[in-house]
Structure 1
């Protein structure tokens, strides 16, 4: 099975040792051409003369324009596991650095994070710091056109169910296709009258807690139904819905 996670705009800086980015070593190696094209275009934008225009194209606030230098160095910067690189609400709730090694290895086998630069990568794949999102603009590249069909084809090779926790912007960069064994997880809250509404901040927190529990318990899941049943047994309010969706009801 595979749990698909969104990335985060915020990341830990730095890394250990002399290891550097090796695009060919990332999960789904069939995406190498798309990764090279996107990464090199990102470096090109970051090193262009007009830093204000470059930051605008990438969606980087003017106060963080120095992150262009981070992008310029992605092929030479130190790397760390993606689970540790990303921070923000979801990844803070997941709290990967505190997981036991077996739990981390389990996520390495069963989880992927969908980067705008690298496409879906293994949870333990080593990546550098960077700043780019699904809405960034690169010269001569339409991200959706570049990535969507290639990612869909790569995901089609995954054995077992796919549990999709990505935001809709990243789903557009790589739909899971027409597989029956997939589910898009939508987080909602329930009011006193039973009315449900979508969440934002707590959406990410709930997803992070769900993945942490999955890593710690390491259940054997062979279907979407099995994942829902496991989640319920782990204390989450989860139910199947229409259109291949699963609702996670957050308190």
Structure 2
């Protein structure tokens, strides 16, 4: 099983790991593109004003350019710890037991705009780059999608077993999942008190983070979609898909007014 997560715009500072070593990252077939993207980011970062414009930074975010200038020299930490924000707050990797972290290392990958698919335990620096950032490359148009989609897509094509894609659409485009049974894009929907179901916007990321946490804590390498859906039913997660194991999966959660913490509390109590 492979769980694909989006990165976050915000990232934790610091780290105790040695500077980035591309040869130690998961999926070595991506190394040449990683070098190309890093070189383009470093070139852009040499001109602060151009970098601020290209990265769409506000007046108080200019320090992100310094982060990018130090990509090859700054300390690293695991990808699962590096990313912050709504999804990762719900996942709360710092509170996972060692067994769950070990399972995550083999089953969770993050779609980085800078480094492509990275494993949960891969050591990465802080940086600022989005799926729609425009960079100057020696070859071709300044599109990260054109750089990552063929190579990351090939990695996923070669992956056997169940794939759960929890990435946002912009990051999913950087590494399309294969069109086959057992490879699923997961959509989050909300059911209100009247039973009506609609797309879930603000709390989408919390729900994905909680589902990921439940999966890595369960520690089950599901072989088929049916196995996954059976588990979800026993854990009282409303996760549904086509009977033949193809197409999207839908995670339906209760529509909760108020804070994100309240949604997390409801989901946790429902799954208990």
TM-score w.r.t. length of structure 2: 0.87
Aligned to 2:253: 250
Task: Establish whether residue 138 from structure 1 lines up as the match of residue 135 from structure 2.
Answer: yes
Superposition deviation, residue 43 in structure 1: 1.3
1:97 — aligned with what? 94
1:230 shift after superposition: 1.6
Cα contact 1:183–1:246 (8 A) shared by 2:
yes
Distance 2:234 2:219 in 1: 13
Aligned pairs for 1:155-170 within 5 A? 155-170=156-171
> In the alignment, which residue of structure 2 is the partner of 1:35?
34
SS of the residue corresponding to residue 15 of structure 1 reads coil
Whether the 8 Å CA contact 1:231–1:238 is kept in 2: the answer is yes
CA distance in 2, matches of 1:98, 1:130: 24
Gaps of at least 5 residues in structure 2 are 255-272
Q: How does 1:1-251 map to 2 (within 5 A)?
A: 1-17=1-17, 19-48=18-47, 51-140=48-137, 141-241=142-242, 244-251=247-254
SS of 1:183's partner is strand
State whether residues 44 and 50 of structure 2, in contact with CA within 8 Å, keep that contact through their aligned partners in structure 1. Answer: no
Alignment-derived partner of residue 258 in structure 2: none
d(CA) in 2 for partners of 1:15, 1:220 = 30
For 1:210 and 1:69, the matched residues in 2 are separated by 34
Shift >4 Å, 4+ stretches: none
Cα drift, residue 157 of structure 1? 1.6
**What whole-Å deviation, never above 9, does each CA across 1:80-128 have from its counterpart, x for those lacking one?**
0000001100000000011111100100001100000001110010000
Q: Which shows bigger deviation, 193-202 or 68-77?
A: 193-202
Confirm or deny: 8 A CA contact 1:213 1:234 kept in the other structure: no
Measured after TM superposition, the shift of residue 241 of structure 1 is 4.9
**TM-score, structure 1 normalization:** 0.94
Determine the C-alpha separation between the residues in 2 that align with 1:22 and 1:201.
Answer: 36
In 2, the alpha carbon distance for the partners of 1:100 and 1:192 equals 35
CA-based RMSD: 1.4
Aligned residues: 248
Separation in 2, partners of 1:70, 1:31: 22
Distance 1:229 1:166 in 2: 23
